[in-house]
Structure 1
């Protein structure tokens, strides 16, 4: 059964977009999620597993994770395996050096969202000395930006995105009004973040808590 937080997160998106479910895959089974945890050698946060049981990733890009695509079970495996097999290298930059270890790829970082340009949101199970196991990282492997902690946990990340939806800093782009109803399949519909400096702004908010 969904927790109150997971249900609230989903409801926040559905309140903005009446056809939201059309963009999402049918949920993963408990066996698929258990197998995923064995594959990545980590226990996922309960709220993350609840979301996977509801939606096994995005059928069509909608930006369910703050403008990033929510990864399904098989997509997580593919991206995690890339993290595992990638050569060890230092990050371009780090926002909070005492919380984040200086490596770009690590099998103890579990990607759960992707922007299609090589940048991820990731659960970090290998924090630095002042970090928290399970903290959420903005992990830019495609752009020359700093890795940053943006939330202490997956639950805190969900609360952050709900707040951004409510404040319309994560806004719905819905072009259905520009098309006749029979042509709605051609309309652009997705959620887009509007914070000024992308995830560096979110990291700054986190640092100022």
Structure 2
């Protein structure tokens, strides 16, 4: 069940960071989800909706999405509006899996659900290449000269990746509360960050290997 993935994800992060919930917004309500889907003109994955109903984005960035910040409903529409108004003929610096990804940077068929604050996004892709999968998860670097990459077949698979990453500490917690008195904890650096060497290209390599072995 999709909701079990969300519960497992929340429990995995809480097992590493006891104050995890204080970083997260309250969940979106049904109207906010309906309005989001209408704005995007897209039916969203049930596991993604369930996660938004649990946490409507991050109150203070903790790196829930593999070191990226998880966007709330209003932020999603704001970033998607930028995709919509950007020049449609802009091509990325490179595409990692050319048969799976269309050679474009901005598309209204890509739903940004996470970002790093530097112009790089994680997106749900509803306009894949000829051998891609509808709803596949993309790393979309619009701020850095890196390849656009498929990192998961769907949002469920991406949540499973996050659960494994935080459990095995591939997604590593920095927690500097020990360096501050409790009343000053808001000044401490507390965040999760990926330990993979070549940003998301390493994850795309793991995805490619898994696909080759299936």
Same fold per TM (> 0.5)? Answer: yes
Q: Deviations over 1:120-168 (max 9, x none)?
A: 0000000011000000000000000000000000000011111111111
User: Structure 1 79/144 Cα, relative in aligned 2: closer, same or farther at 3 Å?
Assistant: same
Partner of 1:17: 17
1:180 matches 2:188: no
1:58 maps to 2:58: yes
Counterpart of 1:104? 105
Query: RMSD value over aligned CA atoms?
Result: 1.0
User: Could you say which residue in structure 1 is the equivalent of 2:167?
Assistant: 166
TM-score by length of 1: 0.98
Aligned position for 2:6: 6
User: Hey, what does 2:85 align to over in structure 1?
Assistant: 85
Aligned-pair distance for 1:2?
7.0
Contact (CA 8 Å) 2:95, 2:149: kept in 1 or not?
Answer: yes
Count matched residues. 209
Q: Distance in 2 between matches of 1:161 and 1:32?
A: 25
Which ranges of 4 or more aligned residues in structure 1 deviate by more than 2 Å?
none
- Map of 2:201 onto structure 1: 200
**TM-score in terms of structure 2 length:** 0.96
- Alignment correspondent of 2:134: 133
Supply the distance in 2 between the matched residues of 1:3 and 1:123 (Cα, whole angstroms): 18
Structure 1 runs not aligned, ≥5 long: none
Distance 2:175 2:128 in 1: 38
Could you tell me which runs of 5 or more consecutive residues in structure 2 were left unpaired when the two chains were aligned.
none
Give distance in 2, aligned partners of 1:84 and 1:32: 20
Distance 1:141 1:208 in 2: 25
User: Alpha-carbon deviations, 1:37-76, whole Å to 9, x = none?
Assistant: 0000001111111111111110001001000000000000
Deviates more, 1:174-183 or 1:121-130: 174-183
